[in-house]
């Protein structure tokens, strides 16, 4: 498996997720501004991966000459609004920076670099823990449906939803995967199918609008998705289309699990109604790899996320265990 993001002496290296699976290209960010642009343009995406990239962006900025710490944090925070892990990653670096007050710049820069690399290492460990907790929930001999890419590419490695799938496979369960292609950015077709293919986990690609059909046909044993932000009451913001999958799962009596690190929780928000939803460019909908698929001038809406109310969520799988309703209690305990 290729690495999603790495700190090297040349800069922060990321695999370019806008080009996969047609091209395996790597981007080297030499400044925090380049990291910010990589997050904004979705060269790197996925809530936990964005958190790691933000931490590395802060550390990278502090290696640059004459850059103000607060400026770095402000620029990185303005890249994408929905995934709370972005702000969590920046906050963690701010706390570290505060603890380093009074030390010489070189020492601060070195310590922040070490912290960012630790964030990355921890993210992989967290994903493995999520996998261990979630593997038991996956029914043996059945098909797992997933939406978008909550895989190694959405994290520093291993994945959240795909971490649960990987852990279930490693535990000996015989499962296969249905992957929603996840329009408009096609993370399912381009990233999830590619990742699971590399791991040799049997995967069937479907368009988003087929998921309900296969649920009704009894083909799906459970649904596992990631999350970009989870409110205190268990409402889940995740890739657009997640809400529809959740409603269809409930209608068909299929368990619907969310796999996410604790850093995805935002206990400052009582409900998901308060989560900001990013609206992205119309061209993501009207063009596919630059090929127009709609008439010129058509109006488009392109919300990148939706909010799934807690009543559709069977369980939230974190590195500290599985939360179940009522989430206002169970999430606080975690």
Residues that bind its own copies (CB under 8 A): 21-22, 147, 178, 180-184, 186, 189-190, 193-194, 197, 202-214, 216, 240-241, 243-244, 247-248, 251, 285-286, 288-289, 291-295, 297-303, 306
Shortest separation between residue 58's beta carbon and its own copies, angstroms: 33
Rounded least distance, CB 23 to its own copies, Å: 11
What region does 228 belong to: left with phi over 0, alpha with psi -120 to 50, or beta? alpha
Tokens of residue 208, six digits = 């988003």
CA distance 285 to 140: 37
Q: If you write DSSP's letter for every residue of 39-54 in order, what string do you get? A: HHTTSS-SHHHHHHHH
Q: Which two tokens stand for residue 1?
A: 């498996």
Q: Is the peptide bond before 184 cis (omega within 30 degrees of 0)?
A: yes
What minimum distance in Å lies between the beta carbon of 205 and its own copies? 5
The secondary structure element, H or E, covering residue 250 is: helix 242-251
Q: CB under 8 Å to 9, separation ≥6 — which residues? A: none
The stretches of 136-210 forming alpha helices (DSSP H) are 161-170, 187, 193-199
CA–CA dist 39, 324 (Å, integer): 32
Residue among 89 and 184 whose Cβ is closer to its own copies: 184
Nearer to its own copies, 135 or 169 (CB): 169
Task: Given the residues 16, 140, 199, 228, select the one marked as catalytic.
Answer: 228
CB of residue 269 to its own copies, shortest distance in Å: 17
Nearer to its own copies, 96 or 190 (CB): 190
By the 8 A CB rule, do 304 and 240 touch?
yes
Q: Answer whether 248's CB lies under 8 Å from 212's CB.
A: yes
CB of 184 to its own copies, least distance (A): 5
Looking at the Cβ atoms of 6 and 181, the one nearer to its own copies is 181
Of the pair 244, 330, the CB lying nearest its own copies is at 244
Concerning whether 228 is annotated as a catalytic residue, the answer is yes
Phi and psi at residue 181, to the nearest 5° = -65, -30
Q: Catalytic residues, which ones?
A: 228
């Amino acid at each position: 498996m290729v690495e999603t993001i790495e700190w090297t002496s040349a800069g922060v290296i990321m695999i370019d997720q806008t080009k996969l699976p047609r091209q395996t290209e790597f981007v080297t960010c030499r400044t925090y501004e380049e990291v910010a642009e990589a997050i904004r343009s979705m060269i790197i995406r996925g809530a936990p991966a964005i958190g790691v990239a933000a931490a590395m962006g802060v550390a990278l900025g502090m290696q640059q000459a004459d850059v103000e710490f607060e400026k770095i944090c402000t620029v990185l925070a303005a890249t994408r609004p929905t995934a709370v892990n972005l702000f969590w990653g920046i906050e963690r670096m701010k706390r570290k920076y505060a603890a380093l007050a009074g030390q010489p710049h070189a020492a601060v820069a070195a310590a922040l670099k070490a912290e960012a690399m630790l964030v990355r290492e921890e993210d992989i460990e967290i994903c493995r823990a999520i996998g261990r907790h979630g593997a038991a929930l996956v029914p043996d001999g059945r098909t797992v449906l997933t939406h978008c890419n909550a895989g190694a590419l959405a994290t520093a490695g291993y994945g959240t939803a795909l971490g649960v799938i990987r852990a279930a496979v490693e535990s000996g369960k015989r499962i296969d995967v249905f992957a929603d292609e996840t329009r408009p950015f096609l993370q399912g077709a381009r990233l999830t199918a590619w990742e699971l293919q590399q791991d040799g986990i049997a995967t069937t690609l479907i368009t988003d609008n087929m998921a309900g059909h296969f649920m009704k046909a009894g083909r799906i044993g459970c649904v596992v998705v990631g999350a970009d932000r989870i409110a205190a009451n268990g409402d889940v913001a995740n890739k657009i289309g997640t809400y529809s999958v959740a409603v269809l799962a409930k209608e068909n009596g299929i368990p619907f699990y969310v796999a996410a690190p604790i850093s995805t929780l935002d206990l400052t928000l009582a409900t998901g109604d308060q989560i900001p939803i990013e609206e992205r460019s119309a061209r993501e909908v009207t063009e596919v790899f630059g090929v127009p698929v709609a008439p010129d001038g058509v109006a488009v809406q392109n919300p990148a996320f939706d909010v799934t109310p807690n009543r559709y969520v069977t369980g939230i799988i974190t590195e500290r265990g599985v939360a179940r309703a009522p989430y206002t209690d169970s999430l606080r305990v975690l």
